[in-house]
Structure 1
Amino acid sequence: MRPHLSVLRDSILRHATEPHTQTLLPGLTLFHAECQTMPIDCIYHPRLCIIVQGSKQVTVGSRVFTYDAEKYLIATVDLPVTGCVTKASADEPYLSLSLDLDPGDIATLLLTTSPHNPRPDLRTGAGLAVSTLTEDLLCPVSRLVALLDTPDDIPVLAPLIRKEIAWRLIRGEQGALVRQIALADSYLSQISRAIAWIRTHYAENFDIDTVAKIAGMSTPSFYRHFRAVTMLSPLQYRTRIRLQEARKRLITDGEDAAEAGFAVGYESPSQFSRDYRRLFGTPPARDAARLRATTAPELMNLSADL
Structure 2
Amino acid sequence: MDRQQELAALVSGLAPQDGMHQTAIPRLFLIRSAQPTEPLHALHEPAVCIIVQGAKQVMLGERVYRYDATRYLIVSVDLPVVGQVIEASLEAPYLCIRLDLDPGVLGALMLEADPSGAASAAAPGSGLALDPVTPALLDALTRLVRLLETPADIAILAPLAEREILYRLLGGEAGGRLRQIALGESKLQQVNRAIGWIKRNYDKSFDLETVASQARMSPSALHQHFKAVTAMSPLQYQKQLRLQEARRLILSAALDAASAGFRVGYESPSQFSREYSRLFGAPPLRDVARLRAGEHSLVSA
TM-score using structure 2 length: 0.96
Q: Which residue of 2 aligns with 1:132?
A: 132
- Identity in percent: 49
Amino acid at match of 2:300: D
The Cα offsets for residues 186-236 of structure 1, whole Å up to 9 and x where unpaired, read as 000111111111111101111111010000000000000000011111011
Deviation at 1:248, TM superposition (A): 0.9
Q: Distance in 2 between matches of 1:128 and 1:252?
A: 29
Q: Which residue of 1 aligns with 2:10?
A: 11
Please give the secondary structure, in 2, of the residue aligned with 1:204: coil
Matched, 1:273 2:273: yes
Q: Distance in 1 between matches of 2:184 and 2:290?
A: 44
Q: Distance in 2 between matches of 1:170 and 1:248?
A: 35
Residue correspondence of structure 1 range 142-221 to structure 2 within 5 A: 142-221=142-221
Q: Distance in 1 between matches of 2:36 and 2:234?
A: 32
> Structure 1 residue aligned with 2:300, among 279, 284, 305?
305
Please give the secondary structure, in 2, of the residue aligned with 1:153: helix
Distance 1:114 1:93, change over 3 A: closer
Please give the secondary structure, in 2, of the residue aligned with 1:24: coil
Residue correspondence of structure 1 range 253-268 to structure 2 within 5 A: 253-268=253-268
Q: Which residue of 1 aligns with 2:85?
A: 85
Q: Distance in 2 between matches of 1:220 and 1:106?
A: 30
Q: Distance in 1 between matches of 2:130 and 2:217?
A: 28
Deviation at 1:294, TM superposition (A): 2.3
Residue correspondence of structure 1 range 19-30 to structure 2 within 5 A: 19-30=19-30
Tell me, yes or no, if the aligned pair for 2:124 and 2:188 is still in contact at 8 Å.
Answer: yes
The Cα offsets for residues 68-116 of structure 1, whole Å up to 9 and x where unpaired, read as 111000001000111010011111111111101111121112212345x
Q: Distance in 1 between matches of 2:152 and 2:294?
A: 40
Q: Distance in 2 between matches of 1:218 and 1:34?
A: 47
Residue correspondence of structure 1 range 21-100 to structure 2 within 5 A: 21-100=21-100
Amino acid at match of 1:20: M
Deviation at 1:118, TM superposition (A): 6.9
Distance 1:243 1:118, change over 3 A: closer
Distance 1:38 1:208, change over 3 A: same
Point out where structure 2 has 5 or more consecutive residues left out of the alignment.
none
Q: Distance in 1 between matches of 2:196 and 2:59?
A: 21
Amino acid at match of 1:221: A
Deviation at 1:275, TM superposition (A): 0.6
Please give the secondary structure, in 1, of the residue aligned with 2:118: coil
Please give the secondary structure, in 2, of the residue aligned with 1:59: strand
Where do 4+ consecutive residues of structure 1 move more than 2 Å?
none
Distance 1:21 1:209, change over 3 A: same
The Cα offsets for residues 244-263 of structure 1, whole Å up to 9 and x where unpaired, read as 11111111111111011001
Matched, 1:101 2:101: yes
Amino acid at match of 1:255: L
Q: Distance in 2 between matches of 1:286 and 1:99?
A: 34
Tell me, yes or no, if the aligned pair for 2:54 and 2:87 is still in contact at 8 Å.
Answer: yes
Deviation at 1:293, TM superposition (A): 2.1
Q: Distance in 2 between matches of 1:112 and 1:52?
A: 30
Q: Distance in 2 between matches of 1:32 and 1:171?
A: 28
Q: CA RMSD in A?
A: 1.4
The Cα offsets for residues 37-87 of structure 1, whole Å up to 9 and x where unpaired, read as 111111111100011111001001111100011100000100011101001
The Cα offsets for residues 88-147 of structure 1, whole Å up to 9 and x where unpaired, read as 1111111111101111121112212345x5712612200110111111211111110110
Tell me, yes or no, if the aligned pair for 2:123 and 2:225 is still in contact at 8 Å.
Answer: no
Please give the secondary structure, in 1, of the residue aligned with 2:113: helix
Q: Distance in 2 between matches of 1:270 and 1:238?
A: 18
Q: Which residue of 1 aligns with 2:250?
A: 250
Matched, 1:288 2:288: yes
Query: 10-19 or 223-232, which moves further after superposition?
Result: 10-19
